[in-house]
Structure 1
Amino acid sequence: MLYGSPCWYTALTNKKLVLKLTRIQRKLAIRICSAYRTISAEAAGVIVAIPPIELQASERKNRYSGVPKSIARGNLMHSWQQKWKGGTHGRWTYSLIPDLQVWTNRPFGEVDYFLSQALSGHDCFRRRGELEESCRRAESPNCQYCQAEDDVEHTLFICTRWQDARTAFLRKTGGIFSAENKVFKVFRVEKNHGIMPITQYDLSSKAKKWRIGDKKNVYIHMSNMSREDT
């Protein structure tokens, strides 16, 4: 996507062209981290640690003009941080990953389907709002286990159904398991043994139960239709 960017960089003053490139980059980021398709471009880019395409083009143009690589990269990270801090999309992700420098320079901790859900707040959560499309399947916005309002924060930090997993995490990391301290502490745990079991166990279990519920709803719907026909 960046081939010849020092030549066409000036075209990025056209917002429509930037939007087209951002859409393409968003699809690539979703494929990389296996995120839900309703995730924003801003959040997807942060999760996979890929800066916005217009900032990468600017970096290439600066390096082509003779700016040292370290300075060009520093300017990019500064611009990305300011853009991320002042953005309006992906605010749950921002609450977990406010510092892009720390996140992008972490020594280990690859994201996958379940961790992407936890970091983005999209899928397997019933509260309406940002997740309008995923909630169409849910009859109620309440948690399947404790009947409180269900969202990503409730699932990871509050719901009593997953208390054992949180306790196991605390034994490995120490401290309080909360949205404010979760991500950066997690990636200081050797081989990421903390957050991965929690997200995989929590979200895979919820998804399995949700699929079973969907099948039951389809069966009930078909049964009602057959009764109406008779």
Structure 2
Amino acid sequence: MRYLGLTPDGRWSFGPYFDQLAPRLQNAAAALGRLLHKVGGPDSPCRRLYAGIVRSMALYGAPLWVDALSAHNKALLRRPQRVIAVRVIRGYRTVSWTAASLLAGDPPWELQAEVLAKVYQFRSWQRANGERPSVDQVGRIRALAQRALIQWWTEDLGSPAGSVTVDAIRPHLRRWVNRRHGVLTFRLSQVLTGHGCFGKYLHQIARREATPACHECGAPIDSARHILEECTAWEPQRRALVAVIGGDLSLSHHIMPPRIRP
């Protein structure tokens, strides 16, 4: 049975619906992603707009199917989210779904579906009681659901132990998602993910280097942290950075330096 674009099965598991939806989302994410080059291309607002298009397709009818989100269905949602999130952050294709969605400030779509369901349930309850919810009432419910979403997301990121990207952003997650300053560049994304022109990445993941050693200073491991904190070849740039954000060069400090924290 197909109703308003949704295909529930006899058990209301929505398995056939997600099986049909997944290729459409993948194709849309890939098509839009081809317009979003890592270097140059549209700016951050445009990238977020494109991501919103795919997200809207994914979350259509969410209040109806949110309770049917099995592990399989969640995986089908996460694949296209990762594809478009990687393009939003100008990252490498090897960046994980967790890191890409986190840097893009795009919570897991299954959690966003919960927010939509909460708002829908409130409206339905009000109308069932003969009342018409005001815009302010709906806004308050949505804000409460959004705060709960951030809490759920924070807990999800804490188990199991995350990557360096997760560890850097998780303490500042709410401020990171709600921030109105700064953009992610191609090179900044490399630093925040560790996926880029670093010996460790080129050796272990890209398989382009025989060793993870630094070509500049000869250190045994060339990583984003090594570039930021240790490599002597980048000392002039490091001094300039310290003059702006202070002596703490950890990724967490880069994410939200004290002078821009509320």
Q: TM-score, normalised by structure 2?
A: 0.66
1:75 aligns with 2:131: no
Q: Encode CA deviations 1:85-106: one digit per residue, 9 max, x unaligned.
A: 22345x1102321221121122
Give the aligned length: 185
1:208 aligned partner:
none
Structure 2 equivalent of residue 109 of structure 1: 182
Tell me the equivalent position of 1:159.
231
Q: Is the 8 A contact 1:77 1:101 kept in 2?
A: yes
1:221 counterpart residue number:
none
Q: Is the 8 A contact 1:109 1:187 kept in 2?
A: no
Measured on the aligned residues, the alpha-carbon RMSD in Å equals: 2.1
Fraction of identical pairs, as percent? 34
**Corresponding residue of 1:4:** 61
**Higher alpha-carbon deviation: 52-61 or 100-109:** 100-109
Contact preservation (8 Å) 1:33, 1:47: yes
Residue 191 (structure 2) pairs with residue 118 (structure 1): yes
Q: 1:62-211, aligned counterparts within 5 Å?
A: 62-66=118-122, 68-89=141-162, 91-98=163-170, 99-127=172-200, 132-134=204-206, 136-148=207-219, 149-185=221-257, 188=260
Q: 2 CA distance for matches of 1:32 and 1:187?
A: 26
In the superposition, the TM-score normalised over structure 1's length comes to 0.74
Structure 1 residue 150: Cα displacement: 0.8
- Contact kept? 2:195, 2:201, Cα under 8 Å: no
Aligned AA (2:165): T
Is structure 2 residue 109 aligned with structure 1 residue 53? yes
CA contact (8 A) 1:106 1:187 kept: no
Cα–Cα, structure 1 residues 128 and 29, in superposed 2: closer, same or farther, change >3 Å?
closer
